[in-house]
Amino acid sequence: MKKPLACASVALACLAGLCAMPAAHAADNTGHAATLVSGNTMSVTNRYGPSAIYFDPSGRARHTAGDTVSHGSWRADKNLVCSTADPTPERVTPEYCLDLAGKELGKAWTGTDPKNGNLVFLLTPGDKNASR
């Protein structure tokens, strides 16, 4: 039962902080990143398994990994999307940003992280876990 929770925390950390940089303080929720994620789902697969993060247009986010669902918020500034978990898990940095420059809806990209291993990201239209 610990694995889904670990997966949820780690995958949220992945979006929120891994191949990422500390968050910028100002955001205008405009630009490439906001257009790309708002109302869409980012699937993230790492060594712990798959997860999905839905970016509600209201600025709220829902992260689903296995049977674990957590909530948070997101904001965007130009090419960066930043997320925060509510409440922030102890081992997760409060907010981090992922650079989405050059990324496109429907086209997967990869990354790597020492804690989470190889990563595969994919942004798809809409809410893939609408029933949760």
Average pLDDT over residues 66-73: 90
What is the overall mean pLDDT for the chain? 79
- Longest pairwise C-alpha distance within the chain: 39
Put simply, whether the predicted model's pTM sits higher than 0.75 gets the answer yes
Q: Which residues contact 48 (CB under 8 A, 6 or more apart)?
A: 3, 6, 7, 10, 11, 65, 116
pLDDT of residue 126: 96
CA 4 – CA 101 distance, rounded (Å): 30
Q: Please, what sign has the CA dihedral across residues 86, 92, 95, 97?
A: negative
d(Cα 39, Cα 119) in Å, to the nearest integer? 22
Domains along the chain with CATH numbers: 2-125 (2.40.128)
